[in-house]
Amino acid sequence: MNQTIARFDDVTMRFAQISALQNVSATLAPGKVVALVGHNGAGKTTFLKLLLGLLRPTSGSVAVLGADPAGRNASILRRRIGFLPETVTFHGAMTGRELICFFAGLKGVAAAAAVELLSQVNLEDAGSRRVGTYSKGMRQRLGMAQALLGDPELLLLDEPTSGLDPHSRHRMYETIDALRAQGKTVVASTHALAEIESHADEVILIHGGRVLAAGTLTELRGAAALPTMAKVRLRHDAAHSMPCIDANGIEMSRPAPDRLDFRIPAGHLPSFLDILATSRSWIEDIEIEPPTLDRLYQHLLAQAEEDQ
């Protein structure tokens, strides 16, 4: 069985002066939500354009659904791919329904199915209005509707949540979760790391056109061995007595009289909790913060810069 939806094989993409991607190798497994994480200009959009076959790599090769996305049969391939561009713009004078039907036609999808998608993204009432009057969130939803045309196996979402209000973001992540449940492969580029964390199976971290790290979140966390942070607020009557937790490399600091911050090395959280249990009478509140994608990224970034 074909266990990859897409594969990058030592891909370098150079434009006139800059090289957007350098020696990138990656595989996308079917049915996974992959977060493509990096700063602006890290190479995320180039990555997606290569998957779409809109660019040909300077060297190396890209394969999508078993074929060359920029090759002869690219047109057939693109029927199986949905794409949401970073800035979704449409011809403002056309209505939402006209646009979705136009795109449906290009993809060989019946108009009825297109209108059905429009109502799935709650645009059935706005469908007869000019897209020029749509809000950013509505345009993004129309963008998502067109990406879903033809029930594609692979969805490429370029910054799907950028510029959206919290409610729209939430809905976007719901859509991504629903796609995952349907067994679709989703590649979503983002720099909103903290948000995508709980929705992604795998992460590809890109920086300066290179892949810093790739794998599941657990794998990445394990490899980076980042400490867990804990913030303990002490009861007022205990603020003057000082609990002593200084074992297994756990570091403690006291930023305020009634607060203790702990830095717990990877793997030592259980013993930390054991120690804490003995001091429970002093404790008002505990906040435990596992290493987030954000911190993981900062860590890997710092590491990469050291290496250079």
Partner 1 sequence: MKAILRMAMQEVRAGIRNRLVLATTLVLAALAVSIVFLGSAPVGVVDADPVSLTVVSLASLTIFLVPLLALMLSFDTVVGEAERGTLLLLLSYPVTRWQIVAGKFLGQSVILVIATLLGFGAAGLLLLLQHGSDAGDWPAFIRLIASSILLGAVFIAIGGLVSVTVRERATAAGAAVGIWLVFVLLYDGALLALLVADQGRFIGTATLDALLLLNPTDAYRLYNLASDPRIAMLSGLTGTATAEGGSNAQQLLALLAWVVAPLALTVRVFSRRQP
Binding site for partner 1 (CB under 8 A): 15, 49, 52, 54-55, 75-79, 81, 83, 85, 87-91, 93-94, 98, 102-103, 105-108, 143, 146
CB of 163 to partner 1, least distance (A): 13
Sheet holding 259-264, edge to edge: 251-256, 259-264, 228-234, 283-289
Minimum CB separation of residue 105 from partner 1 in Å reads 5
Answer yes or no: are the C-beta atoms of 165 and 137 closer than 8 Å. yes
Residue 209 to residues 14, 153, 228, 295: CA-CA distances in angstroms? 10, 26, 29, 20
Strand partners, 36: 189, 204
| Closest distance of CB 107 from partner 1, Å | 6
Cβ-contact 180, 31 below 8 angstroms: yes
The CB-of-101 to partner 1 minimum distance in angstroms stands at 10
How far apart, in Å, are the Cα atoms of 206 and each of 1, 161, 273? 29, 18, 35
CB atoms within 10 A of CB 294: 15
Q: Which is nearer to partner 1, 31 or 85 (CB)?
A: 85
Tell me which residue has tokens 């049969």.
73
Instruction: Tell me whether residue 16 or residue 181 sits nearer to partner 1 (CB atom).
Output: 16
Residue closer to partner 1 by CB (options 92, 183) is: 92
Nearer to partner 1, 14 or 231 (CB): 14
User: Which is closer to partner 1, CB of 36 or CB of 245?
Assistant: 36
Q: What single letter denotes the amino acid at residue 113? A: A
Q: Could you tell me the smallest distance in angstroms from the CB atom of residue 272 to partner 1? A: 49
